[in-house]
Amino acid sequence: MSSQFEPEGQAPPATGLLLLQVCIWGLFCVFALRFWYLQVYKGEHFAAKARDNQLRQEASFAPRGLVRDRTGELVAVNEPAYALGLVREDVRDLDATLAKIAEWTGTPQAELRERFEKGRRRVKPFEHLILVPDLSFDLLAHIEANTLFWPGLEIVVRPKRRYPQDELLSHVLGYVAEANEEELEKDSGLALGDNVGKGGLELVLEGRLRGAKGLTQVEVDATGRRLNQMVLREPGAGEDISLSIDLGLQRRCTEQMGGHSGAVVVMDPDTGRILAFVSMPSFDANLFVAGLSTEQWVALRDHPRHPLQNRVIQSMFPPGSVFKLVVGAAGLEAGINPRETVYCSGQVQLGKRVFRCWKKHGHGAVNYQQAQVQSCDVYFYSMGERLRVDKMAPFAMACGFGQRTGIELPHEKGGLVPTPDWKRRRFGEPWVGGDNLNMSIGQGFNLVTPLQVARFVSALVNGGTLYKPLLLADQAPEAQSRLPMSEGTRKLIVDAMVETVKSGTARRLQRRDAVMGGKTGTAQVVKLKLKEGDVRETTEEMAYEERDHAWLASFGEKDGQRYVAVCMVEHGGHGGSVAGPMLASVYDYLFGEATR
């Protein structure tokens, strides 16, 4: 044996051995006492708790608030939907269970697996993890009968959104669909499979519409089967909402648009309440609730007419002659005498460029009112030349253009009021004289939304107040600003609009029982194309996407009732002839059949 195995001195440390003994006795005494406390002293208490433990608490689903139009007709309701839920604690063999569900529903097993992995992190012990959010009735009966053999699987009944008017109000209401990962992350009140608002009022009013989940106490046996249940907290339904929309009017406007793409807005000019909000074409919001298939989604997204585009607030169009209302007011405010005449020969020249009037042979000498009624381009060219962009742009902005109206819908666009600065940044080119002329007749770079036009015309009609457009019946009117014009100027413009219906381009709106006013617009989409010689193609000769946009901004007053209606028909051709009959029919709905 080597020397390292020599005994090293003697005896282990006495205090150390004492320490070990203290440790043993301490351990025994402390834990024996604790066991006695838990099992003997408090034993009965914990035994009672153990019995309670066989009671689980489950969320019960709250219905979303109902949505009605101003007359009380329902536009968003709830109906029961059947989801397949899984309680992971009760499942014996997860893989076999998922395989079975895949067999029943046709959902690939990998997809179910992914859903399970995603959901388990968010589901509390013994809570349902929703694997299939919406079961068809056929499947329901089959699965219901089989869940008995698959512990942990259960049918969960939940309210599901339905839009009984199908496509009619989709651009206002938006839709609900299953919450995505990001939304689940942000909102701890959501569980996998819950629906949330994804667009329109459903999104904006999510906080008011969504109810509060209830709590139910469920008594279960060892395999998770429910024996008994008791409601601990009733679910709280979401708030019901009434719209300012008149469904009948909405229907009328939609019918009148026929197969055209475009927008119609009908507004109460004295409050800003919107009575009709039509964007065509529309889509069926019910498709989203059920969960779109990829093909359905692609078809909607890539549709040549863009049904998902909200043309009332998201599409920006050149305003065309409708913008003459703004330029005219700016000119009158700048001191142009309305009695002063301009001679229209059908065209004016600026440098090398020739600017034409829509009327080839000219209007002759026209004063302000005649110019607005006839929509004489040459008169407004001369105004544009005198005002220049420096006067027109700020004036247009003060009339509410170039900025959002603030309506309670997501993704509103602000339109564009061009300035020399903007042009330099955008195109790297200076503002030239011709730009002033184009701007004066609403061509060139100007872009507006139909809602901005409706709000502006409402302000002209109501005495000059720009109101925030409202969609809900209970919202108080909210004055945002005043039109930058004197009462005299405003009257001149409005009177000219009335005259336009009597003798000008908006004659289609004429009716004996009401005071009607209007301004048409035909906005060129592409630069004027001339056929050989000097003749322009007719609308029918042009390719659809090259045809002009047709505008008609109007108001009507009868027996103290006032309405503003704006119609924009995408690639519709001439404002008066295309949009005129449509709005005439809209006023028939509002005022009764006309005596013309």
Partner 1 sequence: MSPIDRRMLYHINWPLLGLAALLFAVGVVNLYSASGFRVETGQTMSSFYQKQLIWGAMGLVGMVAFLFLDYRHLKTLAWPLFVLAVLLLLCVPLFGKTIYGAKRWLDLGFFNLQPSEIAKISILLIGAKLLARGSRPMGWGELILVLLVGLVPAGLIIIQPDLGSGLSVLLLLGGMILYRGLRKGVLRVLLVVGPLLLPLSWFFLHDYQKRRIMTFLDPSTDPLGSGYHINQSQIAIGSGQIWGKGYLAGTQSQLRFLPEKHTDFAIAVFGEEWGFIGAIILLSLFSMFLYQIFVTASVAKDRFGSYLAAGVFFYFFWQILINMGMVLGLMPVVGIPLPFISYGGSAMVVNLCLIGVVINVSMRRFVFKRS
Residues 6 or more apart in contact with residue 216 via CB below 8 angstroms: 57, 58, 59, 60, 229, 230, 231, 232
- Looking at 193-253, which runs of residues are DSSP E strands? 195-197, 214-220, 226-233, 241-242
How big, in percent rounded to 5, are the helix, strand and coil portions of the chain?
Answer: 40, 20, 40
Closer residue to partner 1 in complex, CB, 100/251 = 100
Closer residue to partner 1 in complex, CB, 52/534 = 52
Under the binding rule (CB under 8 A), the answer on residue 532 touching partner 1 is no
> Smallest distance from the beta carbon of 147 to partner 1, in angstroms?
15
The one among 3, 72, 124, 352 contacting partner 1 by CB under 8 A: 124
Q: Which of residues 23-42 bind partner 1 (CB under 8 A)?
A: 23-25, 27-28, 30-32, 34-36, 38-40, 42
Closer residue to partner 1 in complex, CB, 23/231 = 23
Residues 6 or more apart in contact with residue 192 via CB below 8 angstroms: 115, 118, 119, 122, 123, 129, 130, 179, 184
Under the binding rule (CB under 8 A), the answer on residue 44 touching partner 1 is yes
> Smallest distance from the beta carbon of 151 to partner 1, in angstroms?
9
- Nearest alpha carbon to residue 528 among 346, 323, 355, 322: 355
- Nearest alpha carbon to residue 265 among 305, 204, 318, 310: 310
Task: Candidates 88-96, 107-115, 267-275, 576-584: pick the segment binding partner 1 (CB under 8 A).
Answer: 88-96
Under the binding rule (CB under 8 A), the answer on residue 20 touching partner 1 is yes
Under the binding rule (CB under 8 A), the answer on residue 538 touching partner 1 is no
Under the binding rule (CB under 8 A), the answer on residue 3 touching partner 1 is no
Task: Candidates 13-21, 131-139, 201-209, 315-323: pick the segment binding partner 1 (CB under 8 A).
Answer: 13-21
Under the binding rule (CB under 8 A), the answer on residue 137 touching partner 1 is no
> Smallest distance from the beta carbon of 206 to partner 1, in angstroms?
26
Tally of CA atoms within 13 A in the half-sphere of 225 that contains its CB: 8
Q: For tokens 């964007």, what's the residue?
A: 279
Closer residue to partner 1 in complex, CB, 55/155 = 55
104, 131 Cβ separation under 8 angstroms = no
- Nearest alpha carbon to residue 374 among 327, 324, 339: 324
Residues 6 or more apart in contact with residue 188 via CB below 8 angstroms: none
Task: Candidates 48-56, 161-169, 246-254, 438-446: pick the segment binding partner 1 (CB under 8 A).
Answer: 48-56
> Smallest distance from the beta carbon of 132 to partner 1, in angstroms?
17
Query: CB 309: neighbour CB atoms within 10 A?
Result: 15
Give the DSSP H/E element, type plus range, for residue 384: helix 377-398
> Smallest distance from the beta carbon of 261 to partner 1, in angstroms?
53
Beta bridge partner(s), residue 73: none
Task: Candidates 82-90, 289-297, 303-311, 417-425: pick the segment binding partner 1 (CB under 8 A).
Answer: 82-90
- Encode 442-462: b = buried (16+ Cβ within 10 Å), e = exposed: bbbbbbbbbbbbbbbbbbbbb
Under the binding rule (CB under 8 A), the answer on residue 90 touching partner 1 is yes
User: Which residues sit at the interface with partner 1, rule CB under 8 A?
Assistant: 1, 4-5, 7-10, 12-13, 15-17, 19-21, 23-25, 27-28, 30-32, 34-36, 38-40, 42-47, 49-50, 53-54, 88-94, 97, 120, 124-125, 152, 222
